[in-house]
Chains A and B, each alone.
Chain A
Amino acid sequence: GAVVSQHPSRVICKSGTSVKIECRSLDFQATTMFWYRQFPKQSLMLMATSNEGSKATYEQGVEKDKFLINHASLTLSTLTVTSAHPEDSSFYICSARQGGTQPQHFGDGTRLSIL
């Protein structure tokens, strides 16, 4: 079945550091990738939608300058949390869709902890 690889699975770093998270579709071409954030004991909230070759579309309240998304190829999207602070600590999870009504496939998530 379709596989989405997300890396790293866990990051612990100091405040002020920028952190890059990769999301790769391993056996299909993903025209659209989604980035979600999940705070403890809460649901997954969409942060942004990333289409290959174009700018990401951010949800209301998500700072585009803080959460940089690049979808440079049909198999890779990256999320960079710039100058991360403790309040950015969360579980970030990506998903990829091949197109149309194809189902989304999720990565295993990245647990980000900012000290």
Chain B
Amino acid sequence: AQKVTQAQTEISVVEKEDVTLDCVYETRDTTYYLFWYKQPPSGELVFLIRRNSFDEQNEISGRYSWNFQKSTSSFNFTITASQVVDSAVYFCALDTGRRALTFGSGTRLQVQP
């Protein structure tokens, strides 16, 4: 069975603070992909990153960074110097290639000015 857990339901920070969104996953597959998506109030899913299970290198893209730790089955997402435009719901998802994505419950991030 596959499962994605985002334990943080809602996070509120003040602009310019750093914030980390946690994601823990479960799967018996050895080959899988992990994703992060951003869902702004308008509803569409904005793709942020796709990470292969064999690639544990951390990744940085501008103010975004991702920490993949296979040993703890975690794929955490950090936003550095958060901005109001970062306010959204963020979903972590797991893809084993055999069926649809398994989504976490999402973390609502509110960045206050």
Residues of A whose CB lies within 8 Å of any CB of B are 34, 36, 41-44, 46, 49, 91, 93, 95, 100-101, 103-104, 106, 108-109, 111
Contacts of B28 in A (CB 8 A): none
B81 smallest CB distance to A (angstroms): 27
Binary interface encoding of chain B residues 28-51 relative to chain A, with 1 for a CB under 8 A from any of its CBs, else 0: 000101010100000111010010
Distance (whole angstroms) from the CB of A34 to the closest CB of chain B: 4
Residues of B whose CB lies within 8 Å of any CB of A are: 31, 33, 35, 37, 43-45, 47, 50, 91, 95, 97, 99-101, 103-106, 108
- Cβ-defined contact, B43 with A100, below 8 A: no
8 A-B pairs whose Cβ atoms sit less than 8 Å apart in the complex: A43-B103, A44-B91, A93-B43, A101-B31, A103-B95, A104-B100, A106-B47, A109-B44
